């Protein structure tokens, strides 16, 4: 199958190529050689989980030998492992192997491996080239595109990082068949997000094909992943550094991040928190009269159809309000709320007050009904 080809062009004149095709892993070596013809070597960074499932396919696609030098650098993934310490292990391996400036780091995994290995590539020798081979829905539609790399600090998520655009993002939807149902669904909430913020046809396709998407059907996933990549590539091309437009990607994230924080990142997958955040933001938008009841109902119906979310009813409103104020997205003390205006269109509101946030929270069962 001929891959879909997209590009991210940034002010720095850097071009990232995004290739999307089922079975792409089989020809990943050629795809990398195309964009990095002078690569001195490839260093694969992955996690034990991902490598056990997909390592053979990647190894074949890259024509890697069994030599030690070609062995992947395997580090633990999952949010708790997204630390300077784990990234240090990647640096250690790069130094120990004498990896030079012309090498290309190939990150094979979900968003955690992509962000962490990407930051290692950005910092090692002041930057070596990076290829993303994303293996989760979140990574294929979001984290691998746009150049944000980084790790968490003890006191906050993604506080340490850099912009480092990949030379190539190689998206093969067939790798998603091994994801757990929960992980797949969590990623699909962000796909719904793309529909709401930027594409009514994508939202309609989600409604029509959600059961097949939840079953992990590559045929159903391919068109929606391609559209999400196109939206993200377009947004990042127009606003690499999140000075404006890129903020629309944060729909559902103000309250979503707060929910993740107050539950210590344990109860909810990120996408699940965003699903709650979207419902709350949608209720706020209705209350402000800027988004219709029927669009709100369509969004809630789709999210509810996707399955039950972990229960959050007992959470404290005050804790959540405090957490929204600590969000990284707060600029000069003003909370930026991404609010939909109609399916496929959003605005950024800087005047959402506490009463409105409380109203949004009550819509997801937190605090007294309003």
Ligand X SMILES: NC(=O)c1ccc[n+]([C@@H]2O[C@H](COP(=O)([O-])OP(=O)(O)OC[C@H]3O[C@@H](n4cnc5c(N)ncnc54)[C@H](O)[C@@H]3O)[C@@H](O)[C@H]2O)c1
Return residues touching ligand X (CB under 6 A).
47, 49-50, 53, 77-79, 82, 109-113, 115, 135-136, 138-139, 142-143, 146, 148, 158, 175-176, 178-179, 183, 270
CB 79 to ligand X: min, Å? 5
Out of 54, 59, 82, 190, the active site residue is: 190
Out of 79, 183, 242, 345, the active site residue is: 242
- Known catalytic membership, residue 247: no
Biggest CA–CA distance in the chain, Å, is: 64
- Known catalytic membership, residue 345: no
Closer to ligand X at the Cβ: 70 or 79? 79
Out of 59, 82, 205, 232, the active site residue is: 232
- Known catalytic membership, residue 152: no
Out of 17, 148, 247, 269, the active site residue is: 148
- Known catalytic membership, residue 126: yes
- Known catalytic membership, residue 79: no
CB 138 to ligand X: min, Å? 4
CB 250 to ligand X: min, Å? 10
- Known catalytic membership, residue 257: yes
CB 188 to ligand X: min, Å? 11
Single out the residue of 50, 59, 68 nearest to residue 25, CA to CA.
59
- Known catalytic membership, residue 148: yes
CA distances from 7 to 10, 298, 311 (A): 10, 32, 40
CB 364 to ligand X: min, Å? 21
Closer to ligand X at the Cβ: 136 or 282? 136
- Known catalytic membership, residue 272: no
Catalytic machinery residues: 126, 148, 190, 232, 242, 246, 250, 253, 257, 270
């Amino acid at each position: 199958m001929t891959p879909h080809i997209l590009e991210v062009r940034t002010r720095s004149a850097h071009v990232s190529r995004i290739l999307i095709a089922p079975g792409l892993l089989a020809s990943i070596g050629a795809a990398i050689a195309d964009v990095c013809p002078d690569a001195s070597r490839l260093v694969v960074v992955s996690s034990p989980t991902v490598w056990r499932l997909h390592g053979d396919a990647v190894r074949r696609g890259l024509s890697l030998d069994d030599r030690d030098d070609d062995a992947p650098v395997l580090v633990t993934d999952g949010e708790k492992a997204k630390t300077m310490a784990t990234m240090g292990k990647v640096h250690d391996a790069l130094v120990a192997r004498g990896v030079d400036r012309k090498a290309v780091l190939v990150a094979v995994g979900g968003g955690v491996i992509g962000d962490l290995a990407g930051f290692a590539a950005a910092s090692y020798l002041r930057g070596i080239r990076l290829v993303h081979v994303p293996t989760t829905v979140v990574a294929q539609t979001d984290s691998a595109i746009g150049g944000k790399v980084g790790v968490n600090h003890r006191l906050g998520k993604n506080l340490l990082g850099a912009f480092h655009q990949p030379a190539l993002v190689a998206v093969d939807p067939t790798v998603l068949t091994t994801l757990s149902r929960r992980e797949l669904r969590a990623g699909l909430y962000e796909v719904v997000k793309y529909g709401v913020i930027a594409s009514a046809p994508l939202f309609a396709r989600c409604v029509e094909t959600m059961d097949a998407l939840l079953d992990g059907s590559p045929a159903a996933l391919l068109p929606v992943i391609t559209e999400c990549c196109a939206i993200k590539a377009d947004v990042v091309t127009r606003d690499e550094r999140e000075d404006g437009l890129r903020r629309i990607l944060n729909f559902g994230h103000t309250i979503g991040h707060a929910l993740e924080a107050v539950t210590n990142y344990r109860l909810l997958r990120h996408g699940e928190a965003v699903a709650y955040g979207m419902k709350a933001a949608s209720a706020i938008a209705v209350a402000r009269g800027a988004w219709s009841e029927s669009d709100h109902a369509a969004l809630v119906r789709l999210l509810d159809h996707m399955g039950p979310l972990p229960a959050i009813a007992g959470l404290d409103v005050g804790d959540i309000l405090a957490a929204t104020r600590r969000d990284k997205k707060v600029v000069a003390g003003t909370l930026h709320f991404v609010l939909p205006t109609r399916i496929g269109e959003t605005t950024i509101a800087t005047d959402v007050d506490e009463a409105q946030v409380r109203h949004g929270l009550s819509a997801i069962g937190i605090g007294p009904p309003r």
